[in-house]
Amino acid sequence: METLLTVRDYDLDATLDSGQVFRWRKEDDAWVGVIGRHRVRLSQTGDGICAQTAEQVTDWQWLREFLQSETDLAAVLKTFPDDEPMRVAVAACHGLRLLRQDPWECLASFILSSTKQIVQIRQIVALLCEKFGEPLIRPEAPLPTNPHLTLTLSPPIGRERRGNSKRTRTVLSKPASKSQVYGFNAARGDLFYSFPSPKSIAGLTESDLRACKMGFRAPHLLAAARQIADGKMELESVRKLDYSEARAELMKLRGVGGKIADCVLLFAYGHDSAFPVDVWIERALRQLYFPRRRVTEKKLRHFAAMHFGPHAGYAQQYLFHYIRTKLR
Partner DNA sequence: AGCCAGGCTTGGT
Partner DNA sequence: ACCAAGCATGGC
Cα 280–Cα 284–Cα 285 angle in degrees, nearest 5: 120
Residue 115 engages DNA in binding (rule: CB under 7 A): yes
119 is a contact residue toward DNA (CB under 7 A): yes
Judged by CB under 7 A, the stretch of 24-32, 140-148, 161-169, 276-284 that binds DNA is 276-284
Question: What sign results for the dihedral spanned by CA atoms 52, 57, 61, 62?
Answer: negative
Of the candidate residues 136, 256, 304, 319, the single one contacting DNA (CB under 7 A)? 256
Instruction: Examine residue 42 and tell whether it contacts DNA (CB under 7 A).
Output: no
Q: At 70, phi and psi to the nearest 5? A: -90, -10
Report if residue 103 touches DNA, rule: CB under 7 A: no
- Any residues with CB less than 8 A from the CB of 116 and at least 6 apart, and which? 124
Task: Name the β-bridge partners of 41.
Answer: 32, 52
Q: Is the Cβ–Cβ distance between 204 and 133 less than 8 Å?
A: no
Stretch that binds DNA, among 5-13, 30-38, 147-155, 248-256 (CB under 7 A): 248-256
Least distance to DNA from the beta carbon of 320, Å?
11
Binding of residue 114 to DNA (CB under 7 A) = yes
Q: Which span sits near DNA by CB under 7 A: 78-86, 176-184, 199-207, 209-217?
A: 209-217
User: Is 313 among the residues that bind DNA (CB under 7 A)?
Assistant: no
Count the site residues for DNA by CB under 7 A. Answer: 27
Q: Does 108 bind DNA (CB under 7 A)?
A: no
Residue type, 66: F
Q: Is 109 within 8 Å of 22 (Cβ atoms)?
A: yes
The CB-of-60 to DNA minimum distance in angstroms stands at: 33
**Interface residue with DNA, options 184, 280, 289, 303 (CB under 7 A):** 280
Min dist CB 111 to DNA, Å, is 8
Under DSSP, the state recorded for 278 is -
Of 257 and 310, the one with the shorter C-beta distance to DNA is 257
Our CA angle for 130, 212, 176, nearest 5°, is 25
Q: Is residue 18 close enough to count as binding DNA by CB under 7 A?
A: no
CB 204 within 8 A of CB 132: yes
Rg of the chain's alpha carbons, rounded to an integer? 21
Q: Give Cα separations from 98 to 153, 201, 241, 271, 314 (angstroms).
A: 36, 27, 20, 11, 7
**Smaller CB separation from DNA, 182 or 275:** 275
Of 19 and 144, nearer to DNA (C-beta) is 19
Minimum gap (Å) between residue 122 Cβ and DNA: 10
* Interface with DNA, residue 188, by CB under 7 A: no
**Binding of DNA at residue 247 (CB under 7 A)?**
no
Q: Name the DSSP class of 173.
A: S
**What does DSSP say about strands 38-45 and 48-52: parallel, antiparallel, or unpaired?**
antiparallel
Position among 51, 181, 261, 319 found at the interface with DNA (CB under 7 A): 261
Question: Per CB under 7 A, does 310 bind DNA?
Answer: no
Task: Work out whether 120 is an interface residue with DNA (CB under 7 A).
Answer: yes
150 contributes a contact to DNA by CB under 7 A: no
Which residues touch 93 (CB under 8 Å, ≥6 apart)?
A: 11, 14, 318, 321, 322, 325
Residues of this chain that bind DNA (CB under 7 A): 113-117, 119-120, 123, 213, 215-216, 220, 251, 253-261, 278-280, 283, 328
